[in-house]
Structures are given as structure tokens and as C-alpha cells.
């Protein structure tokens, strides 16, 4: 039987995670592509799906900013919020360019860390 502890090789758990993760996520991706092929982008279900996806991303960002873990937890709340605000402002200022918004947020965060620490 193919299980997480089936082999005693050091690489087996990593390969198992990759295979199991790939099979589980790609199944749902392929099913989504198959089922969404005939849906209009403006249909009510797609608007709902987009709203849910946006809310999930916003929730994850809020959690990371307000309740960080790891080394980010050592930075002040004002610095984290300032980086998000600066990145969001640049995102809108340069016509919704995600790369530049993220770059500015990173620069503000790393610059703040260098100035504080």
C-alpha cells in the first residue's frame, strides 16, 4: 500500500506530499475548468465565486497584517499597515499594476525594518 510511511527513504515523505498535493488540487482545477467552460463571466454564479475569492484573499491579508507570525511579528503594526496602504495606493495610482504595488509594499516594509532595527 502506498502510504506516507511506506518507504524508509529520506525523500519519500517529500515525494508523497508533492504527489498527494498535486492530485488533490489538480482534480478540482480540472473539474472547475470543465464545468466553467460554458459559464459567462457575468453570470451570477461567477460573480459570487469572484466575491468569495476576493473575500478570502482579503481575510488572509488582514490576518497576516494584524496577527503575524514568525519574524513579521517583530515589526510594528503601524509599519505593516503603512506598507499595505502604500502598496495599495501605488497599485491604484499606476492603473492596477500588481507588480508595482507589491514592490512598493515590500520596499516600505523592508525599509522600515532597516530604519527601526
User: Domain residues of the chain, as ranges?
Assistant: 69-117
Q: Where are the alpha helices (DSSP H) in 1-117?
A: 12-36, 44-66, 77-93, 98-116
Nearest to 86 by CA among 114, 59, 111: 111
20 pLDDT band, cuts 50/70/90, is: confident
Helices 77-93 + 44-66 axis angle, to 10? 140
Q: How far apart are CA 21 and CA 26, in angstroms?
A: 8
Which residue did the predictor score with more confidence, 11 or 110? 110
What's the whole-model pTM score?
0.66
Q: Radius of gyration of the chain from Cα atoms?
A: 20
Amino acid at each position: 500500500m502506498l502510504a506516507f510511511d511506506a518507504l524508509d527513504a529520506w525523500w519519500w515523505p517529500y515525494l508523497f506530499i508533492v504527489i498527494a498535493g498535486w492530485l488533490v488540487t489538480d482534480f478540482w482545477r480540472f473539474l472547475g475548468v470543465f464545468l466553467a467552460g460554458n459559464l459567462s463571466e457575468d453570470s451570477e454564479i461567477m460573480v459570487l465565486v469572484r466575491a468569495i475569492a476576493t473575500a478570502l484573499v482579503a481575510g488572509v491579508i488582514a490576518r497576516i497584517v494584524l496577527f503575524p507570525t514568525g519574524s513579521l511579528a517583530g515589526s510594528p503594526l503601524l509599519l505593516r499597515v503603512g506598507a499595505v496602504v502604500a502598496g495599495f495606493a501605488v497599485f491604484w495610482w499606476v492603473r492596477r499594476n500588481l507588480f508595482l504595488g507589491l514592490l512598493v509594499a515590500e520596499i516600505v516594509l523592508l525599509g522600515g525594518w532597516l530604519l527601526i532595527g
